[in-house]
Amino acid sequence: LHLEAMKLEKMEIVSHLAASISHEVRNPLTAVIGFLQLIAENTKTTEDNKAYAKYAIEEATRASEIINDYLTFAKPHPEEECKMSIEQEIKKSIDILRPLLLKQNVETNVSFQHTGLIKGDPHKFHQVLLNIIKNSIEAMPNGGSVLINTSEENRNIYISIADTGHGMSAEHVARLGEPYFSLKGQKGTGLGMMVVYKIVESMNGSVEVESEYQTGTTITLIFPKIP
């Protein structure tokens, strides 16, 4: 029992460390990308150096994407597990994504058939919704829609996120959540859905995926309802 407690404490320390590093690293990384862009766009920069700057931008962008998929809402302080309103947290997550949704011509429709409480850390729950909705946006390069629906059945709460994107084959659905599985080449990390599964499991929930190639994808999160 003592050993278990020590292991848990170690894990806590590691995850807080990761969260604080990501917070500290994100801003300087953004600055680095900004200055590299200035170098790349400067008319005095030689063609060779422009190419080097572009590589450096790509690599730095990749590093920041890994931080985004993993640790956007990880907080460098102890977890705050609480009862949260799914309706409120879904609305907050959509607000965070609003600029990206507008830019990519994706409209959202939200239908709250059920508005209950679930238990968990709101920051982690935001990370789950963010990673899922970002995939939906990325699956609709010419725009489309995301429909979010909540319902309740047999003391479970269902949150489904449906998009009108390019969908996935059955083999790809089966690989979803596997670390580093990505079909986006340099643009993907393959960590987004792994993080989704991990967080949802830690909240005693589960994830179901339905997808039809060239039609769309629906991801359903199932959580136990709290009285």
Per CB under 6 A, the segment of 91-99, 149-157, 162-170, 197-205 that binds ligand ADP is: 162-170
Instruction: Name residue, tokens 């809402």.
Output: 73
C-alpha distance from residue 99 to each of 104, 179, 184 (Å): 9, 28, 22
Between 65 and 87, name the residue whose CB sits nearer to ligand ADP.
65
Give whole-number Cα distances, 72 to 49, 93, 130, 198, 215, in Å.
32, 12, 9, 15, 30
Assess contact for 213 and 199: CB atoms under 8 A: no
Cβ-based nearer residue to ligand ADP, 53 or 194: 194
Q: Considering beta carbons, is residue 80 or 201 the nearer one to ligand ADP?
A: 201
Cβ atoms of 131 and 200 closer than 8 Å? no
- 133 contacts ligand ADP (rule: CB under 6 A): no
Residue from 68, 93, 135, 150 binding Mg ion (CB under 5 A): 135
CB 172 within 8 A of CB 209: no
Q: Pick the closer one to ligand ADP by CB: 150 or 211.
A: 211
CB of 179 vs Mg ion, minimal distance in Å: 12
The span from the first CA to the last CA of the chain, in angstroms, equals 31
Q: Is 76 helix (H, G, I), strand (E, B) or coil?
A: coil
Q: Which residue do the tokens 């920069």 mark?
A: 45
190 binds ligand ADP (CB under 6 A): yes
Contact 135, 128 (CB under 8 A): no
Stretch that binds ligand ADP, among 11-19, 42-50, 87-95, 179-187 (CB under 6 A): 179-187
Which of 22, 68, 93, 189 is the binder for ligand ADP (CB under 6 A)? 189
- Asked if 163 interacts with ligand ADP (CB under 6 A), we say yes
Query: How many residues sit close enough to ligand ADP to count as binding (CB under 6 A)?
Result: 20
Residues in contact with Mg ion by CB under 5 A are 135, 192
- The residues of the shown chain that bind ligand ADP, judged by CB under 6 A, are 131, 135-136, 139, 163, 165-168, 176, 181-184, 188-190, 192-193, 217
